Amino acid sequence: MPDKTLRIPTPDGQADAFAAFPADGGPHPGVLMYADGFGIRPVIHEMARELAGHGYYVLVPNYFYRHGPVPVLELPEFIGEEERPGVFARVLPMIEAHTPELVLRDAAAYLEFLAAQPEVSAGRVGVTGYCIGGLLAVRTAAAHPDQVAAVAGFHAPVGAAGPEVFSRITAEAHFGHAESDLTTETLAELNRALDAAGVSCTSEIYPGTVHGFTMADTDTFDPAALRQHWENLVPLLGRALPRA
């Protein structure tokens, strides 16, 4: 699966990015993928390639570019119980500094860049994200309803977006939650808010999972849940982003 490293012009500089796409040159529908809080690394490259293999041009921006290019942080090859506190201590300040205003300023630049790639077909795109990246995906879909046809988030703090953001989403959505992240009561509350806002979506807990279940380089990885994630994400994009 071909891939390349790119630089995306933004109002605040240039964001480095990873892109994966089918070998036939396209054009193919575009998908903006937001990594989890640990950022772009080999497991994210593999997930982008996997999605590209289903017929999409997948762009993964380094949304922490203001702190430096990838790797923004030197990470262990495997993030387990012992490594996690130290990694989180370095990641959380960057997440907190990435305000909704910066998210939206960057999102507009990312979508403009994605649409301009010669391998990307005309029309609306999909946006997906993991952990905090899922919240960025939701904010992007809400800010650009005319450009985003599908949005997904996995083990993501979707509820932090709130009803006002939900009300601006026109994309079809899927949210796959970790069982450790919210109770069935909290899920029901979130789903009532999504329904009240008119969001067409499925929003469900993946049984037996803990936060970070899609990430194969962590001790929270769940292979069955990763498969379930693909079984929801790929059909969602197929419905929303039809081929020419």
Residue 1 has a pLDDT of 77
Task: Evaluate whether 29 touches 134 at the Cβ level (below 8 Å).
Answer: no
Count of C-beta atoms within a 10 Å radius of residue 112: 14
CA distance 165 to 179: 24
How many residues make up the chain in this entry?
A: 244
pLDDT at residue 12 greater than cutoff 70: yes
pLDDT tens digits, one per residue of 182-241: 999 999 999 999 999 999 999 999 999 999 999 999 999 999 999 999 999 999 999 999
Identify the CATH number of the domain in which residue 202 sits.
Answer: 3.40.50.1820
pLDDT of res. 244: 57
What is the rounded CA–CA span in Å between residue 70 and residue 48? 16
pLDDT tens digit sequence for 143-155: 999 999 999 999 9
CA distance 159 to 194: 9
Those residues with Cβ within 8 angstroms of residue 41's Cβ, 6 or more apart along the chain or in another chain = 35, 70, 71, 75, 217
Structural domain total, the chain: 1
Whether the per-residue pLDDT at 54 is higher than 90: the answer is: yes
Q: Which domain does 173 fall in, by range?
A: 3-240
pTM equals: 0.98
Q: What phi-psi label fits residue 52: left (phi over 0), alpha (psi between -120 and 50 degrees) or beta?
A: alpha
Task: Check residue 47 and give its pLDDT.
Answer: 98
Q: What is the C-alpha separation between 147 and 143, in angstroms, rounded?
A: 9
Token pair for residue 212?
Answer: 């970070």
pLDDT tens digit sequence for 124-175:
999 999 999 999 999 999 999 999 999 999 999 999 999 999 999 999 999 9
